[in-house]
Structure 1
Amino acid sequence: MRADERSLGIMTRCQGSHFVDKGYYKKLTLYGRKHGMRVFVFSPRQVNFSSRTVRGFEYRNGSWQPNTFPLPALIYDRCFVGPSYRHYKPFVEKLQNDRNITFLGHGLSGKWQVHQMLTQSPQLASLLPPTEILSLATVNDMLQQYGAVVIKPMAGTHGIGVVRIKETKSGYEATGRNRENQPFRRLIRDSAGLKTFIASFTSGRKFLVQPYLKLHTPDGTPFDVRVLVQKNGQGDWETTGKAVRLGDKRSITSNLHGGGKAQPLSAFLSRHFKPAVHSKIETTINQVAEKLPRFLEECHGRLVELGIDVGIDTSGNVWIIEVNSRPGRTVFRLIDDPIAKRHSITQPVRYAHYLMKERVGGY
């Protein structure tokens, strides 16, 4: 097997030598090297398709060193979608269409598209909150029906731009996080003010609207459950870990980037729910972890890992809040789960090994 056929390129956004998740990529590199695989980080904008090479960075001798690499046989897509993704998209698509390159998985396109796919599943559709594309009419309709709604950007991450709007005696109250991920609360006098607020806050970006679900503890602490599922070294889906993320009481979201904390799932559920409800919640979450990845892959195409965010309301009902194809792993370090932490790092390399063997019929 040629050297480039034993290579794994981590595709991400690089500004020179600056890129996020360096600690994670360092661990992937060292684990891959132990198993005869060369791992490096690159930006899709640095690919030279004529020479089939790419400028990137490899962790060696204690630091990230620049180099020019042959295009890798396998690509691990960590190119997070956001407002500037349009600058990367043409290069990503050209790599995806290259017959000599295999992507470990293809990134999900957005919250609305994922929601539309999951509504087709008989087992999962009932766990999805009612969801619509945001307009003043859909906000007003849901406010009339539920009294409070949540608006969220279609392509947002880390809880940024998620806002609860609820009716009050004197008008409306908007609570959430702005574009700088800072918490805010605003009182709005009337429907004309609400229209102005929504137009200004969304500012041309596409948003979704859902009923506000009471996803908090009895003392008002928002929380959700992060479930990490990944492909293993046999090409099968496996649950790596589950953990609760708790947010600030001033916030409506529990994302760790907003100052949240983490706890093990079972201990948390036993504190806040009766045994029968606790058992039912865990059973439902396990069913979601088993069924969702396979169903989504059938609709979407190959995936390598998913972060499934599950909400549990005050009545013990389980809701699928969000599915992320480029999930973070911080939560398992915070709850001191060494097995989940280790697997979260090693599984992508194991799956890459599996795909390499599939490509060449064994070493």
Structure 2
Amino acid sequence: MSNSSMYKRIGILFNDRMLRGVAVGKTGQEKLAWYEEAASRHEVIPVYFRLEDVDMHSMQVKAYMRQGKRYVSRKIALPRVIHNRAIYTNPRYDRKIQTIIDRGYILYNQVNRYGKMTIHEILRKDPYLYPFLPETEIASEETIHTLMKRHQSLIIKPNNSSVGKGIMKMERTSRGWQAIYPTTPRLGKQRWQQQRTTGEVIPQVILNRIRKAKSTYLVQQTLPLSKYAGRPFDLRVSVQKCSDRNWKITGVVGKVAPTTTFVTNVAQGGAVVPFEQLVGASLPNFTAEVLLNRVSNFSLHIAHVLANILPNVADFGLDIGISPDGCPLFIECNGRDQRYSFKEAKLLQLWKATYENPIAYGASLLQPPSSSS
């Protein structure tokens, strides 16, 4: 194999389960065809592998490459540029990734899942962003009581979960408080129940779940989200680095909570609605162009702030709300945007672009430095 062909390869790092799906053509929400199409345009060859198959002595890896209409496994030199789509919870994998980087390889999106509190602590230090963040604390009986005195509604959610799993809500009633919580941690069409208390008493189900949880919960004020047909909505904003190595907004799509709950996540039954349709019906005093500019500038600012602290980031899926007075509000940051919101909204070109930009960025990193005259 020539040096030039090795030079043009770009690695895509998957978890074990996703990589097993490559061989049989079942990769869930990950659309390999869009990687291949983008790679062809940018004259690179995508190869798919898992961290376990990287030999740190020879710096070779067993990887899958497309051959005709199927994928075959071959042992090749580890690509110099790697797009990370895996999430690891074992520290030894983090150490292996860091060693690869220390040896001169470029691996972007080095960590794909940060705790919500980690992100919040970074953003709250920025004076521009601070007014648009929910007040947030590590959940305990004491901190919940503190926020109960300041707000009429609270969100309680796991620090490290995704797609809305484990989220609960507390609302003030005429007599006290009520908890709204899922009966099961499983995803899909969950059943939601309520538990009421009188006075300033925290519903017992909230305390029980926090105390029994294996990981930390957060408590935060409920943001004043605009509503579409009486249902709260937020936006998924894809912010990515592209071929010029600068941040750009790839796409924006709305997520509307079902009538049965407050959670907008698509995995929890939320509906995707095009941005223009949402804001036209919900915020008639603002043009879609004005709101899109506000959301875009806000999201780009978030990306720049995070990129100054977090290592080797190139891809964020931001959940952004809009208040009734047209202000963007920060909800969450997803390090590994699953990208399917654009698919569900039938926004095919935006869906493809969420795959193309990371490949374009990686291809730009493969280019030799331009010689100055």
TM-score norm. by structure 1 comes to 0.88
Cα contact 2:283–2:324 (8 A) shared by 1: no
> What does residue 286 of structure 1 align with?
296
Instruction: Give the stretch that moved more between structures: 240-249 or 311-320.
Output: 311-320
User: What is the number of residues matched between the two proteins?
Assistant: 359
> What does residue 169 of structure 2 align with?
164
Say whether 1:184 aligns with 2:192. yes
Post-superposition shift, 1:158? 0.7
Q: Which of 197, 202, 218 is the matching residue for 1:208?
A: 218
1:321-360 paired onto structure 2 within 5 Å = 321-358=331-368
> What does residue 20 of structure 2 align with?
17
Post-superposition shift, 1:349? 1.2
Deviations 1:194-228 (A, max 9, x none): 35643435513112111122425264423111111
What is the one-letter code of the residue matched to 2:215?
Answer: R
Say whether 1:234 aligns with 2:236. no
Post-superposition shift, 1:106? 2.8
What is the one-letter code of the residue matched to 2:192?
Answer: F
Cα contact 2:170–2:179 (8 A) shared by 1: yes
Post-superposition shift, 1:317? 3.7
Once residues 168 and 121 of structure 2 are traced to their aligned partners in structure 1, the CA distance between those partners, rounded to angstroms, is 22
Using the aligned pairs only, state the percent identity.
19
Shift of the 59–85 alpha-carbon distance from structure 1 to 2, 3 Å rule, reads farther
Cα contact 1:33–1:39 (8 A) shared by 2: no
> What does residue 120 of structure 1 align with?
125
Shift of the 136–303 alpha-carbon distance from structure 1 to 2, 3 Å rule, reads same
What is the one-letter code of the residue matched to 2:207?
Answer: I
Post-superposition shift, 1:123? 1.8
Cα contact 1:171–1:187 (8 A) shared by 2: no
Instruction: Give the stretch that moved more between structures: 196-205 or 339-348.
Output: 196-205
Once residues 361 and 156 of structure 1 are traced to their aligned partners in structure 2, the CA distance between those partners, rounded to angstroms, is 46
Post-superposition shift, 1:347? 1.0
Structure 2 spans left out of the alignment, 5+ residues: none
Once residues 183 and 291 of structure 1 are traced to their aligned partners in structure 2, the CA distance between those partners, rounded to angstroms, is 37
What is the one-letter code of the residue matched to 2:128?
Answer: Q
Say whether 1:198 aligns with 2:207. yes
Say whether 1:104 aligns with 2:108. yes
Deviations 1:96-155 (A, max 9, x none): 3332x1013333522111111111222222111111111111111112221321012111
Structure 1 spans left out of the alignment, 5+ residues: none
Q: Which of 40, 44, 49 is the matching residue for 1:37?
A: 44
Q: What SS does the corresponding residue of 1:213 show, helix, strand or coil?
A: coil
> What does residue 84 of structure 2 align with?
77
Shift of the 65–172 alpha-carbon distance from structure 1 to 2, 3 Å rule, reads farther
Cα contact 1:111–1:155 (8 A) shared by 2: yes
Post-superposition shift, 1:193? 7.2
